[in-house]
């Protein structure tokens, strides 16, 4: 029986990136829908769950994407609410690539340092990718500092993370010049997840941190977030720190995206969200 992936995209035009990855991950057919909302998704879900027998539903799966992560999460909530009893199919959410990128970044760090008890700083932590990287770290027992230009926005994101991660050790911080020394103090892992083309720190600012062991910059658009990291860096050594750039993380991200998609067809009851995708990243290693 053919493996069918139904792509539900919250943007008007469904992402060609997500569609190509779906084919490369082994889907035999990809049905792509754009402009999908909680209000119009129910018939699409019914079409997925009412066409094949319950014991065949693992051959059909859903993928939620699009540039707006909040819209994607609202869609996921509606999709899972529409399932009932055995009438369900597996579903993955990776709006804006946020889950796979964040999980790949954290997994890159985990290759070099023990995340439990580690002191980490996520710059740009209020964005979709930074938020999820901080969430995955907090779930791994890392002591997370989540930074924004606004302490209020950082605090709001910390509240959201505490609501999903029991016993999270996470505190808000600011990345403005006045507070930077305090924000950087004692960190061992640095993940820069700022908007494209935003530089947070000069090379001297991060390379001179005595406690820093691993630095990861997810911004591929010049200037990069951490000056001196090349986008292609993959466990490169800069001033004694292990460094990854956006493309250096990209290989793991693509592998993770494909592996997670392939898992969707293992059974008909998986919900591959931030937590589940981070678990798959840890399995890949």
Ligand X SMILES: NC(=O)c1ccc[n+]([C@@H]2O[C@H](COP(=O)([O-])OP(=O)(O)OC[C@H]3O[C@@H](n4cnc5c(N)ncnc54)[C@H](OP(=O)(O)O)[C@@H]3O)[C@@H](O)[C@H]2O)c1
Question: For the chain, what is the HEC assignment?
Answer: CCCEEEEEECCCCCCHHHHHHHHHCCCCEEEEECCCCCCCCHHHHHHHHCCCCHHHHHHEEEEEECCCHHHHHHHHHHHHHHCECCECCEEEECHHHHHHHHHHHHHHHHCCCCCCCCEEEEECCCCHHHHHHHHHHHHCCCEEEEEECCHHHHHHHHHHHHHHCCCCEEEEEECCHHHHHHHHCCCCEEEECCCCCCCCECHHHHHCCCCCCEEEECCCCCCCCECCCCCCCCCEEECCEEEECHHHHHHHHHHHHHHHHHHHCCCCCCEECHHHHHHHHHHHC
Nearest-approach distance from CB 161 to ligand X, in angstroms: 14
Applying CB under 6 A, among 65, 66, 72, 124 the residue interacting with ligand X is: 124
Of the listed pieces 44-52, 114-122, 161-169, 243-251, which binds ligand X according to CB under 6 A?
243-251
Binding to ligand X by residue 148, rule CB under 6 A? yes
Of the listed pieces 1-9, 23-31, 193-201, 269-277, which binds ligand X according to CB under 6 A?
193-201
Residue number closest to ligand X, CB atom: 127
Nearest-approach distance from CB 105 to ligand X, in angstroms: 8
Binding to ligand X by residue 150, rule CB under 6 A? yes
Which residue lies nearer to ligand X by CB, 62 or 246?
246
Query: In the window 210-239, what residues touch ligand X (CB under 6 A)?
Result: 218-220
Binding to ligand X by residue 126, rule CB under 6 A? yes
Binding to ligand X by residue 60, rule CB under 6 A? no
Applying CB under 6 A, among 27, 193, 226, 281 the residue interacting with ligand X is: 193
Binding to ligand X by residue 72, rule CB under 6 A? no
Binding to ligand X by residue 128, rule CB under 6 A? yes
Applying CB under 6 A, among 198, 236, 271, 276 the residue interacting with ligand X is: 198
Binding to ligand X by residue 80, rule CB under 6 A? no
Which parts of this chain interact with ligand X (CB under 6 A)? 96-97, 101, 124, 126-130, 148-150, 153, 193-196, 198, 218-220, 246, 249-250, 253
């Amino acid at each position: 029986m053919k493996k069918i992936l139904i792509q539900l995209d919250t943007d008007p035009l469904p992402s060609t990136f997500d569609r190509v990855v779906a084919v490369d991950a082994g889907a035999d057919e990809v049905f792509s829908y754009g402009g999908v909302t909680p209000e119009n998704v129910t018939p699409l879900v019914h079409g997925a769950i009412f066409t094949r027998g319950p014991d065949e539903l693992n051959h059909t799966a859903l993928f939620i994407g699009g540039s707006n992560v909040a819209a994607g999460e609202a869609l996921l909530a509606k999709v899972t609410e529409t399932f009932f009893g055995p009438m369900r199919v597996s579903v993955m959410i990776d709006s804006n690539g946020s889950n796979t990128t964040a999980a790949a970044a954290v997994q890159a760090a985990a290759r070099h340092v023990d995340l439990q008890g580690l002191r980490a700083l996520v710059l740009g932590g209020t964005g979709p990718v930074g938020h999820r990287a901080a969430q995955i770290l907090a779930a791994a027992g890392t002591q997370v500092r989540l930074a924004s230009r606004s302490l209020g926005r950082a605090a709001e994101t910390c509240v959201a993370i505490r609501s999903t991660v029991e016993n999270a050790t996470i505190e808000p911080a600011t990345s403005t010049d006045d507070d930077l020394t305090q924000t950087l103090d004692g960190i061992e892992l640095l993940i820069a997840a700022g908007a494209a083309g935003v530089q947070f720190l000069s090379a001297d600012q991060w390379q001179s941190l005595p406690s820093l062991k691993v630095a990861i910059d997810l911004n591929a658009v010049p200037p990069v977030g951490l000056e001196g990291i090349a986008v292609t860096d993959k466990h490169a050594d800069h001033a004694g720190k292990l460094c990854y750039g956006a493309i250096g993380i990209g290989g793991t991200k693509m592998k993770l995206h494909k592996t997670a998609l392939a898992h969707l067809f293992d059974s008909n009851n998986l919900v591959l969200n931030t937590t589940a995708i981070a678990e798959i990243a840890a399995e890949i290693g």
